[in-house]
Structure 1
Amino acid sequence: MTDFEAPLRLHLDRDALVANWRALDACSGAARAGAAVKANAYGLGAREVVTRLRDAGCRDFFVAHWREAEAIADLLPPHSISVLNGIAPSDIAAARALGATPVLNTPEQLSHWRNAGGGRCHVMFDSGINRLGLAPQHLADGVLDGMDVDLLMSHLASADTDVAQNRAQLHAFIQAVSTVTAQRFSLCNSAGIMLGDDYHFDLTRPGISLYGGIARAGMEKWIKPVVRISARLLQVRDLPAGAMVGYNATYACPEETRVGTISIGYADGYMRAFSSKGRAWTDGLALPVIGRVSMDLVTLNLNASPDLREGDWVDIEYDLVAAAALTELSQYELLTNLGSRFERSWS
């Protein structure tokens, strides 16, 4: 590796991450809280997140792909890692060598696992999201007969809102629990934890709220932000009133304007939806984004802080709830799109 300084920094708060997991664990009542660390721990860095949550007491980690499991396998006992997207016949030999547990979603996956010798597995039941999982008829047909099911799980579709679907999914899952022999049962994501004890069962699987996302209103009182972004000014210039800024000249300076260009763009996950809407900050002073966000660059109005110079750093406003409302991007997109060009530092 070289010693080049990245012009873009992702500051990650270890204490906030751990505090969020502990709060979600406490809200899970008699259930234990695991952790969804798929998609590189929602963009923060799976190895770093897993290490910190493991040391805090988390014992169940969920990824989507087998390569994600492989990337953290040296940090955990194999049985602590679950692979949500199931298994294909071509995966089985490597999966058995790795030792992580497949989440089997279809009768075909169950058959592949059984024919390869079976053993400990998790099973996804579709309680109404209509995405992945066994249907009630599959259970009635006995597809799980003889299977060593450790965890029967399902997934809530609308736990972030108070809708009848939540209770309907709960009832469907309770029916499945009554017919399936498994060691443990799991239904809740981050938002589902807040629906109450009826939804908790043995294990909850928080994701977005571990990383500072507010899955349901009210959680902002105790979920702490984990991510802070800063970027370096690459150039500062003074433009006259009427000067156009950025692609397609979508912004015209209404007055003489000091403009700064920073090293961030949609290739880093700072999406075009922030164009002429986002803000940066320095010493409590707001620096509005002007013009279009481009692949690697964003322009700011520096009039509020005219002494800023090339090489100075500014903080990017990235409150997840506010940014989601501003851009109509989800909190999940705002995190998982954060790119590899950030210098990530934990404190």
Structure 2
Amino acid sequence: MSANLKLGKYYGTEVQLHWTFFLLVVWVVLSEVLSGASIDRVLFNLQFILAVMICVLLHEVGHLLTAKKIGIKTTKMVLLPVGGISTVEKSTQSPKEELLITLSGPLVNIIIAIILFFAIPVSDYISYDLGQYFTALNDFSVRTFLFFLFIVNVALAVFNMIPAFPLDGGRILRAVLDIKLSRVKATRVATMISHVIAIVLLLIGLLFNPILLFLSLFLLIGSFSENRVVQHIDLLKGYSVKDAMLKNITVFDPDDTMEEIIRVILRGSETNFVVVEDKKIVGLLYHKDIIKNSDNRTLKVRDLMTTTFKTMETEENLSAAYILMQDEIHPFFPVIEKNELIGAIDFDNLHEFLLMEDRLKY
């Protein structure tokens, strides 16, 4: 189960708050309490974290609306303190479109910062000396709140322009390189640059600031993941779902029992199953649900199966299926042709297909 908090759906996109936001709240409260801060200061900081979360959300909405205008649907958005990570149904192959989508996020923060710059106004704070800034830290006025929010939006825009995946700057770098190189090569070069930046941050973090160690890890994992996904999508070009699907699958009837399910699992390698009634797919049986209820051998399939599911067509693009599976809790889909079940596809089988293709190509 994900530790992220689901905030609901907006424009058809599931929005989640990453668990690190809760960690940030705990860290702020504990540090303030241990330092003997007043209740007013603690509440001020908690309200400020909420405001930062809203700014991050608006940043991601900028990406979302631009992608939607281009024709790319965002299925999920995860908000982190430093930005967000979005999952799309298909990735754009156009450098121009990627630039437009990517720049729209930092642009939102810049617009917020410009509005705040004149609303506060920020020019009053520019002439402050160090002592005055320290005094401002203990001023819980709306004006001070907005000034720090201005700083955060500038920081979000600048930070996200660092040329490293999975930050916006890494995607901008890839889009620029993609004008001259292929997408795979552009991603590979951008990933190498991301790794260099991550290693530099790692060394600085070891010497000065441990927080940079987490940032370095974030960049390393994000860049590795982005490069792998792009390589996999490239390998799957020209293939359809029927090329990688499981053909000889076991199906169950809603009235079959747990005893029969366990018997099939023990004698074979299948773990997830399609449930069919009168030649119609009515549900799916997932391995985790089978294990959870395995002590009740008389339990019927209809009481165990999941009735909300997606199917795939045999001629569906395999790279599109791969992208869809990336974000599924249960990456297992019945495969149909002319509304008739002819097989299934799961991530394990698709991964094996990728391994075979990778060896052939490289």
The question of a shared fold, defined as TM-score above 0.5 by the shorter chain, is answered with no
Q: Which is richer in helix?
A: 2
Quick one: higher RCO (CA 8 Å, sep 6+), 1 or 2? Answer: 1
Instruction: Report which of the two structures shows the higher radius of gyration computed on alpha carbons.
Output: 2
Q: Which is richer in strand?
A: 1
